Amino acid sequence: MLEKLGEAIRKATDKIANALFLDKDVVDSIVRDLQRALIEADVNVSLVKELSDKIKKSAMDERIKGVEKKEHLVKILHDELLRLLGEHKQLKLLEKQNRIMLVGLYASGKTTTIAKLGNWFAKRGKRVALIGLDVHRPAAKEQLMQLGKKNGLNVFTNIEEKDALKIWKEFEPKLKDYDLILVDTAGRHSLDKELVEELKELNKKIKPTETILVIGADIGQAARTQANEFKKATDISGVIITRMDSTAKGGGALTACAETKAPVYFIGTGEKVNDIEEFNPNSFLSRLLGMGDLQTLIEKVKSVTEEKSQKKIQKKLEEGKLTLEDVVEQVRSMNSMGGFDKIKSMIPGLSNINAKIPEGALENQEAKLARWEHIIKSMTQEEKENPELLEKQTSRMARIAKGSGVATSDVRSLLKQYKLLNEVIKSGGAGMDMSEGMSQKQMMKFAKKFGKKMRF
Ligand code: GDP
Ligand code: MG
């Protein structure tokens, strides 16, 4: 059931947990994956866009940093998905007699669901009766009788009678001892005038305590129109979505119902009588995510992040060396913090350091980082491990510049940044917090030492 969507959401949370820096690229790629999966599950595009925008906005919230930022992002992701799934409403039986009428189009799963609900409440000690009022499909009443027999449920219907109201009147006196009467009605290909009239008539006579719309999950987000139309025609108190097991579009059906504010009471998850579950958005989402609740999720993000960044710092410090890729990452993370000017203003005593930043340079930063990445891709493994080789042999530099379509000055600037950052590491990398670029202490050291040379 929605396996692909679940997998995509789990991947997204893993990406958040594993990212060394939650920069724009990481967030964009997470959002892209999610969008693809949600749209594949037939969730409405504008809902998907809304969710994406919220996630992006929250990821760029500069007030939150480090692991907390990751927790925050996972929480937003969780809450937004939960919001998409709508409110939780349980189908509760009343003390007096309950009359639940199931309505819906042809083959939406009404009759099957009647048997499932009958069985569900009978197991919970209720005296249940099923009444077959589908006078349109010749085999409909037999189907209900068979299902009743198979599951030990009492069924009332009249095979010969073509008038649904007459069947109701015939059996009404016999129904008074039951706690729950489940009414099976006829469907149509679409909600036409005839069906509306029939539902209104039945409504008047039966006075259902609940009228439940049955929708097949395979119609996906078209459930929105269907739910709205039925709501207009009659008093719908809730929805049951069937065939959640056999389509990838269930996400669309669920979110569309949430949009129309029609609470989903149950979902059908198979053809057998026990294949029915109460729908609880919270536990449904937990299952999609493949873990307990939000707290478990946050704990996971925390521990993965801590473990990962610790391991990485450890390794870096032992080697006393950052790779070229690390350099790009570092500069990108400083950039996402707002560049050197911003960093300066955040650290007391640093604002008087005279690091000249050429005007407009920050806007070019992303383009420059992208060029750096191209450069790294054009390098051989040997060169990546020993960038010093490039300075020794300028032919290498020329080859790389040509191969990556950049100027040799770009290659030089990457090398310069590389040396600069490695000097910082050597001058005492301890206490460096890789999960958010550098620590303040580190940054201060860095700025003091290299402030004048900094060129962003
Ligand atoms: P009705 O015309 O609305 O009464 O629909 P039915 O109850 O006759 O069901 C139509 C078809 O959907 C039947 O083949 C059922 O077996 C099937 N069906 C109903 N609910 C589910 C479900 O939750 N999962 C699956 N896989 N099939 C279902
Ligand atoms: Mg039926």
Do both 265 and 131 map to the same domain? yes
Structure tokens belonging to residue 406 = 């950049």
Residue 51's contacts (CB-CB under 8 Å, 6 or more residues apart) are 34, 38, 80, 81, 84
Reference 40, options 69, 67, 62, 8; nearest CA is 8
More confident residue, 60 or 151: 151
Give a yes or no: residue 90 inside a domain.
no
Last residue of a domain, one of 267, 291, 315: 291
Residue 72: predicted pLDDT: 83
Q: Ligand 2 centre from 220 Cα, in Å?
A: 20
What separation in angstroms does the CA of 281 have from each of 79, 231, 236, 293? 11, 22, 20, 12
Pocket test for ligand 1, best of 111, 112, 150 (most atoms within 8 A of CB): 112
Q: Which residues surround ligand 2, an ion (CB under 5 A)?
A: 110-111, 140
Do both 231 and 267 map to the same domain? yes
Do both 111 and 259 map to the same domain? yes
Ligand in closest contact with the CA of 144:
2
Q: Ligand 1 centre from 140 Cα, in Å?
A: 12
Reference 69, options 435, 416, 397; nearest CA is 435
Q: Residue 210: left (phi > 0), alpha (psi -120 to 50), or beta?
A: beta
H or E element, residue 107: none
Pick the atom of ligand 1 nearest to 268's CA.
Answer: 23
Do both 161 and 191 map to the same domain? yes
Number of neighbours of residue 359 by Cβ within 10 angstroms: 7
Return d(Cα 339, Cα 332) in angstroms, integer.
9
Do both 445 and 331 map to the same domain? yes
Structural domain that includes position 141: 98-291
The confidence band for 128, taking pLDDT boundaries of 50, 70 and 90, is very high
Q: What is the CATH number of the domain that holds 407?
A: 1.10.260.30
Do both 180 and 221 map to the same domain? yes
Ligand 1 contact via 247 beta carbon (within 6 Å): no
Mean pLDDT of the chain: 82
Ligand 1 contact via 116 beta carbon (within 6 Å): no
Residue 453's contacts (CB-CB under 8 Å, 6 or more residues apart) are 420
* Mean pLDDT, residues 32-39 taken together: 93
Pocket test for ligand 1, best of 151, 219, 226, 242 (most atoms within 8 A of CB): 242
Last residue of a domain, one of 85, 109, 136: 85
Give a yes or no: residue 93 inside a domain.
no
* Mean pLDDT, residues 321-336 taken together: 68
Yes or no: say if 354 and 454 are a contact pair by the CB < 8 Å rule: no
Edge to edge, the sheet with strand 180-184 lists 154-156, 128-132, 180-184, 98-103, 210-216, 238-242, 264-268, 276-278
Taking 90 as the threshold, does the pLDDT of residue 209 lie above it?
yes
Do both 265 and 384 map to the same domain? no
Q: What is the CATH number of the domain that holds 235?
A: 3.40.50.300
Q: Per-residue pLDDT tens for 383-423? A: 988 888 998 888 999 999 999 999 999 999 889 888 877 77
Q: What's the whole-model pTM score?
A: 0.69
Going through 158-219 in order, the beta strands assigned E by DSSP cover: 180-184, 210-216
Give a yes or no: residue 105 inside a domain.
yes
Return d(Cα 180, Cα 96) in angstroms, integer.
9
Give a yes or no: residue 300 inside a domain.
no
Give a yes or no: residue 92 inside a domain.
no
Do both 270 and 310 map to the same domain? no
Give percent of the chain with pLDDT exceeding 90: 50
Residue 335: predicted pLDDT: 57
Residues in the chain: 456
Q: Ligand 1 centre from 187 Cα, in Å?
A: 13
* Mean pLDDT, residues 29-51 taken together: 93
Do both 230 and 259 map to the same domain? yes
Do both 311 and 266 map to the same domain? no
Best mean pLDDT range from 7-21, 129-143, 332-346, 425-439: 129-143
Strand partners, 225: none
Reference 80, options 57, 99, 113; nearest CA is 57
Number of domains in the chain: 3
Give a yes or no: residue 26 inside a domain.
yes
Residue 330: predicted pLDDT: 65
Reference 153, options 174, 181, 173, 176; nearest CA is 181
Give a yes or no: residue 298 inside a domain.
no
Give a yes or no: residue 69 inside a domain.
yes
Do both 268 and 127 map to the same domain? yes
Do both 260 and 398 map to the same domain? no
Last residue of a domain, one of 227, 258, 291: 291
Ligand 1 contact via 336 beta carbon (within 6 Å): no
